[in-house]
Amino acid sequence: MNKRNFLVVVVGPTAVGKTDFCVQLARHFQTQIISMDSRQFFREMSIGTAKPSPQEQGGVVHHFIDSHSILEEYNAGAFEADALRLLQELFQTHEVVIATGGSGLYVRALCEGLDEMPEILPGIREELTWRLAQEGLPSLVAQLQQLDPEYAGQVDPQNPQRVVRALEVCLSSGQPYSSFRTKSAERERDFQLIKIGLNRDRAELYDRINQRMDLMLEQGLLEEVKRLLPYRQHQALQTVGYSELFAYLDGAYPFEEAVRLLKRNSRRYAKRQLTWFTRDQDIRWFHPEQFDEVLAYIRQEMAQKG
């Protein structure tokens, strides 16, 4: 790889239209797509992750979709290493590669690298996941406030993955999670980054999210969730689209309430995604229908950086 290679990173909230846009972009550059979605790796999770079907992939090669089983542990650090190895291969024959997704941590892993974290002691993640199911997230948040008040003040208290991740580091190392995050993680990449953000008017985006949830249910999301019941403790399933229906199956509330929560939590997730991405000053924002404008911007950046 060299500085004449370009990774075009396309980010944005759920349901904004990243898949169709990136397929069009990949066809233009005759290249391939790397998925940075933390749940689309898993073969067993399709409907609830809005995984693009072969038809939606439009004949473009997509990497890191259906690449792992939910029985495997896979995290952002492993993804960073695997994706960088793949890019070495792809940049042998492609000047441009597209990477897309809405999982901020995985985007950061590929673009910048992650902080070095201590090894997690055996059994801690399983214990925390069990406690999450039995005691609920507030109990874990309270423990995090005791062990690492600095990070507890920054983390989204509604995000079980982040809370569990911080706690497992605290409990394994005996040190605050925030003490590891202060180390400089950014590593030099031997390719150029061009970052594109896609967004829509909020009412338009929220309407698309509501429609997507209705479509998922029509496609059999509840049946998918039932099949995944044996794996419900897996971290990838502690997320919007699955946790609401697990609770419904537990009898926590009626189906109509599960659907309402599914839509509400998906809208809230989109808001958190936008909060994460808008902090990155390198991202240039567009509406998904501004394909020609995006193309012109990419060409301009390639000319300046190449």
Mean pLDDT, residues 87-91 taken together = 97
Rounding to the nearest 10 degrees, give the CA dihedral for residues 111, 42, 161, 212.
Answer: 90
Whole-structure pTM value: 0.82
Q: What is the pLDDT of residues 6-17, one digit of tens each?
A: 999 999 999 999
104/13 Cα distance (integer angstroms): 10
Residue 8 has which token pair? 């075009």
Pair 2, 29: CB distance under 8 Å? no
Query: Which among 8, 14, 10 has a CA at the least distance from the CA of 273?
Result: 14
Span of 68-77, 83-92, 174-183, 257-266 with lowest mean pLDDT: 174-183
Cα gap 250→247, rounded to integer Å: 5
Q: Are 197 and 115 in contact (CB under 8 A)?
A: no
Residue 42's DSSP bridge partners are 68
Predicted pLDDT of residue 88: 95
* Range name among 172-176, 204-208, 299-303 with the lowest pLDDT average: 172-176
Instruction: Single out the residue of 23, 83, 31 nearest to residue 57, CA to CA.
Output: 23
- For the cut 70, the answer to whether the pLDDT of residue 183 exceeds it is no
Mean per-residue pLDDT, 259-277: 95
Residue 71 has pLDDT above 90, yes or no: no
Is the confidence at residue 91, as pLDDT, over 90?
A: yes
- Quote the Cα angle for 17-288-222, to 5°: 10
Return the exposure string of 165-203: e unless at least 16 CB atoms fall within 10 Å of the residue's CB, then b: bbbbbbbbbeebbbebbeeeeeeebebbbbbbbbbbeee
Mean pLDDT of all residues in the chain? Answer: 93
Question: Looking at residue 185, what is its pLDDT?
Answer: 47
CA–CA distance, 283 with 57 (Å, rounded to integer): 24
State both tokens at 104.
């901020």
In the chain, CATH 1.10.20.140 sits at 124-181
pLDDT digits (tens, 9 = 90+) for 227-250: 999 999 887 888 899 999 999 999
Q: Report which of residues 151 and 305 the model is more confident about.
A: 151
Strand partners, 100: 10, 35
Which residues are within 8 A (CB) of 261 and not within 5 positions of it... i.e. 6 or more apart?
Answer: 244, 253
Confidence of residue 3 (pLDDT cuts 50, 70, 90): low
State the span(s) of the chain assigned CATH 3.40.50.300: 6-114+185-305
The Cα–Cα gap between 237 and 187 comes to: 31
CB 87 within 8 Å of CB 191: yes
| pLDDT score of 150 | 93
Helix residue spans in the chain (DSSP H)? 18-29, 76-90, 104-111, 124-135, 137-147, 149-152, 160-173, 177-181, 202-219, 221-227, 243-249, 255-277, 291-305
Give the whole-number percent of the chain exceeding pLDDT 70.
97
Query: Is 262:225 a contact under the CB 8 Å cutoff?
Result: no
Query: How many other CB atoms sit within 10 Å of the CB of residue 162?
Result: 17
Which pLDDT does position 306 carry in this prediction?
Answer: 73
Bridge partner residues of 35 (DSSP): 100
CATH code for the structural domain at 6-114+185-305: 3.40.50.300
The CATH number that domain 124-181 falls under is 1.10.20.140
Angle CA 248–139–144, to nearest 5:
130
In contact, 152 and 145? CB cutoff 8 Å: yes
Mind listing the pLDDT tens digit for each residue in 112-136?
888 777 888 888 988 998 999 899 9
